[in-house]
Each structure stands twice: as C-alpha cells, then as structure tokens.
Structure 1
Amino acid sequence: MSWAAGLNVFEKDLTLLARERLQAIAAADVVVEAVRAQNRVTASYDQARIGELDAVWRDEVASGSRALIGEVLDRPVSRYLAQMQEASEGLFTEIILMDGRGLNVGISQATSDYWQGDEDKWQKIVPVGPQALHIGPLEEDLSTRTVQSQVSLPVVDPQTGAVIGALAIGVDVEEI
C-alpha cells in the first residue's frame, strides 16, 4: 500500500492497523454492495445536486431534524459500521463510508456534512487507486479528550478491481 505522508508519529502503527483490520471492513460484502448500489443512483449527480443534498444534511444537523441523516443511519451498512465501531472498544471514534462521488453511504454516527468529496479522506483515495492509503494528521478532540487520526482507504470492487468508494475511520491513537 502506498500512503500520503503527514506529520503523524503513529503512521507505522496506523498503516499496520489498516492492513490488519481496516481492509477487512472495507472489503466486507455489506460495504461493497452498499457502495455499488448507491453508485448506481449517484453516478449521474452533478455538483449542483450534490450541493443541494449537502445543504439539506447540514440544515438537519443544525435543526436536529433527521430525515436524510436518519435514512442513512438506518441502512444495514450503517448498522454494520456502528457494530464495528462498538466492537473496537474505543479504538475507532467514527466510521464513514463514501461512494464514488464522495457522498455518505453509511456512517457509524451522524456526520457534520453529507459530501466528503472535497476532503482528503476521499480525494487522496478514490482518484489514487486500489493501493491508496491516507493517514491524516493527529487531531485533538477537546470534547472527548482524545488524540485521533483519520485513516482512509479504498473500497474496491472485487469483480473489477476498480475503486468504487472510500472508507474513513477515526482512530484514537492512544488506544493503539
């Protein structure tokens, strides 16, 4: 796997974690099938449509409404991701599954936005290829008093070998 270097003293540990545990999550049938299904719907979306959906999501976050957010959270793939987060016993702080356009397919918990396509977690994965790995910088979460890094890797269609989406996992580096 190749990866984009950032100033993160945990890069080796996070790369090993990606190879040993995170790739299995990205390759799970429920993950691959969910991305395939959403790509069939969103492949034709233009940037205006993506912006509209992202605005709806952000409005829901601000208002506490949950129509679109709830629909995504209720998906089987989101329940799977939430189970993976829970099973990590604090190692994973969030899991976000994105389609080929950078839109949320599944989430372990609500995110601040719907479109991730303008962020490194998608941009340094989907256009790069099946061997991509991005280790984000260390970030301190003041609310949880944790230091975390986001690890992103591709979701690869096992039939074609093509990157069809991305998976980003927040990792509490103090739990490695």
Structure 2
Amino acid sequence: MTEETNLPEMTPEPSPDMTTPEPEKKKRGRFLKAKERKPKPKKLPAGKAGFLGNLRIRTKFIGVIVGLSLIAVVILFAVNITNTQEILTEQETEALSAISHQRADGYNEMLMGRVSAMVGFAAALDHQDNLVSQNESYTGSQTFIESQILRLDEQWREAGENNTFVLGVLQNELADETTYFLDTFNTYFVETFITDRYGANVAAAARTSDYYQADEGWWQSAYNDGKGAVYIGEIEYDESSGVWGFNMAVPIYSE
C-alpha cells in the first residue's frame, strides 16, 4: 500500500534506509506499502521566459540596477555570515546543536507516527482471507511462480482501466479497507496497496504502475528473508503518484 504526506516545515536531510526488525510471529509474507507526500515544486507559467524582452528600456535599466544591488546585498550577507560564524562562542554553538537535535527528534516522531498508523492498520485488517487465498493459490517452484507473476505484470501494464484483472485488485473487500485507510490519512499518504508473499498486488486503493513489486528494494527490505521488517526509504520522486515523498512498508502477519 502506498501513501504520501506533506512534510513538516522543518525538513532535515533524508535519513538512509532504516529497517526495524519485527518480533517473531507466524508470517504470511504480505506487505503494506506507503509513500509520504512532499509538495511538488511549482512551475512557472508558460510564456514568462520572454518577459524581460517586452519591458521598456527604462524598466530594464531599473531592473539591472536593482539586480546589481541585490547581488551586492547577497555578497555582503555572505561575508557577514562568514564573519559571524567565525566569532560564534562555544555556548552559541552548543545552543545551535541542541536546536538541530530537537528538529531531528521531531522528524523522527513524525515518522514513527506514520509507521504506527500503518502497523495498526495492518494488524486490524478484517479480510486477511484474501491474502491467505492468494498465497495458497501458487504452485510449483519459486522460479516458476515468479515467471507466472511476471507475465501477469506485463498484462497489468498493457490492460485498460476496465480490465477484469485490474478491477479484481482494485475492487475487493481488502481494497475497500486500503481505500478507507487512504481516505482517513489522505493528508499523509497518496498511494496505498498490499502485496502477497511473492510481491504480487492483492489490493490497492488506486492502480499502481506495476503489478509485481518483489523486484523493488523497499519490498525486499520489508520481506527481510521472510522475517518481516519496517522499511522507511529516502525522499524521491514517484512517477506513479506524481509527488515527492518516501516509501514506507510494513509486513502483515497472520493471526
């Protein structure tokens, strides 16, 4: 399942992928994926590139003077910042360090809140039978199963919106639960879906670009060799949802 959320004003540097092992339980190898939302950068309206060329000479001249003045201010500001940094006392440095740690702590609390929401949802699913049935439907070797799923992945990419195969993932009881979760936390998440133990989609709130997820790093980290783990990725642009954010995934265990 995938979700997205607006990041808070304080935006620390993206932390590296983290995995937090889950306690040993009876596992079914299902995964819930989410992606945090970050506002998309605004684009300039079309036709603005030639804006300066339409201005009168006087206006251009003033613009140049202002521009040069701004450059001078930036240079003076940079010099002032450099000088200020050189005279920072040890006490001031420690205070800045404390603020930095507070911001990092706040960011971690935000992440843990998102993870808690996903873990709580995964533990409270009412229709895990969908997952159990799909996991038990596979026969043959691991290689054979993966080849079957890859063929379905090709069909998924080429199928139309009203294709029976696609609608089977988007319109089932488990998909209704993922949609409810997304509607409840739509401020945070923009995409939500659930896979089986082999990485194939079982339910989704909206159509994903791929049907097969086991070739993704986030899925492999959450699978964790069948043990299960919480995964939090780095900030990146997601083409399927069209937002900047990061992937989050948690394992779903059988009762």
TM-score by length of 2: 0.52
Distance 1:143 1:98, change over 3 A: closer
Report the RMSD for the aligned CA atoms in angstroms: 2.9
| Structure with more helix by fraction | 2
Number of the residue aligned with 1:152: 249
Q: Which runs of 4+ in 1 moved over 4 A?
A: 9-12, 128-131, 141-146
Written as runs of structure 1 = structure 2, the 5 A alignment for 1:69-84 is 69-84=166-181
1:135 partnered with 2:232:
yes
Pairing partner for 1:39 from 102, 114, 135? 135
Distance 1:43 1:142, change over 3 A: closer
The amino acid across from 2:171 in the alignment is: D
8 Å CA contact retained: 2:17, 2:232: yes
Q: Residues of 2 paired with 1:57 and 1:142: CA distance?
A: 17
Pairing partner for 1:58 from 119, 138, 157? 157
CA displacement, residues 77-129 of structure 1 (integer Å, 9 cap, x when unaligned): 11110111011132111111010100001101000111101112321112345
Q: Residues of 2 paired with 1:71 and 1:145: CA distance?
A: 24
Q: Residues of 2 paired with 1:130 and 1:12: CA distance?
A: 25
| Structure with more strand by fraction | 1
The one of the two structures with greater contact order (alpha-carbon pairs below 8 A, sep at least 6) is 2
Q: What secondary structure, in the 3-state scheme, does the structure 2 residue paired with 1:111 have?
A: coil
State percent identity of aligned pairs: 24
Using the TM superposition, give the Cα deviation of residue 64 of structure 1 relative to its aligned residue in structure 2, in angstroms: 4.1
Distance 1:5 1:81, change over 3 A: same
| Structure index of larger Rg | 2
Written as runs of structure 1 = structure 2, the 5 A alignment for 1:87-166 is 87-130=184-227, 132-140=229-237, 146-158=243-255
Number of the residue aligned with 1:67: 164
The amino acid across from 1:153 in the alignment is: V
8 Å CA contact retained: 2:128, 2:254: yes
Q: Residues of 2 paired with 1:11 and 1:17: CA distance?
A: 10
Distance 1:39 1:28, change over 3 A: same
The answer for unaligned runs of 5 or more in structure 2 is 1-14, 19-103
The amino acid across from 1:39 in the alignment is: N
Number of the residue aligned with 1:163: none
Distance 1:12 1:120, change over 3 A: farther
The answer for unaligned runs of 5 or more in structure 1 is 159-176
Distance 1:146 1:31, change over 3 A: same
